[in-house]
Amino acid sequence: MHTFRKYKNSHLQVPVKAPLHFNEETGNAERAVLTAKLKTIFSEAKEQQRAVVFLCIGSDRYIGDSLGPLIGSMLVENGVSHPVYGTLEEPVHAFNLKNALKDIQKKNSNPLVISIDASLGTKEQVGDVLFNEGPLVPGKALEKMLPEVGDYHFQGIVNYLDPLPSSQFLNDTRLHTVMKLAKLITQFILDSDNEQ
């Protein structure tokens, strides 16, 4: 879990000029842009013999942090053709993230990692998704020192910052919001998966 912020673009084959934002109300034209972007990323990774890996970060112990594991489980259940790390059964979180990263490097050929995590934003951003090039910083909202992860990343904005202690959002996040975001992100990935 981290707070919403923009990341500097790195030098990858498929640059994302600016973060792509979408939500439940995003129109078909905007959805097509994201789907095309993901298809291009998958296609170029295949050409470069890079394994696309989904790293779904979070814990199933808190609703506010369960977005990643929910998406990981949905991807596996729907037969996504790429390796998935982080599910409800086997979540990837602060205590095992470094081991998961080692395992990804060990078991996958020159992996291209797409990381997915829950995020905090403004009240108006709740329910939005950000897709961007470059890594995300998991645990940032809780001031945890974790490695940056991903060549690309999805952030689902599950709640907003307020005067409560920073960890309080974990208990105040609505499951309905998390489920909507999980289904939305999963569907975009499945619609873009060239191997299906």
CATH number of the domain bearing residue 120:
3.40.50.1450
Q: Do 183 and 78 touch, CB atoms closer than 8 A?
A: no
* 196: in domain: no
Q: What are 91-132's pLDDT values in tens digits? A: 999 899 999 999 999 999 899 999 999 998 888 999 999 999
- State yes or no: pLDDT of 6 exceeds 80: no
Instruction: Return the pLDDT at 74.
Output: 98
Print the domain residue range for 42.
Answer: 2-191
Q: Which residues pair with 53 in a beta bridge?
A: 113
* 143: in domain: yes
Query: What CA–CA distances, in Å, run from 83 to 51, 103, 112, 187?
Result: 8, 11, 11, 17
Instruction: Return the pLDDT at 164.
Output: 60
Q: Do 161 and 124 touch, CB atoms closer than 8 A?
A: no
* 32: in domain: yes
- Counting runs of H as helices and runs of E as strands, what totals does the chain give? 5, 7
Q: Do 177 and 127 touch, CB atoms closer than 8 A?
A: yes
Residue 103 — φ and ψ, nearest 5°? -65, -40
Our count of domains for the chain comes to 1
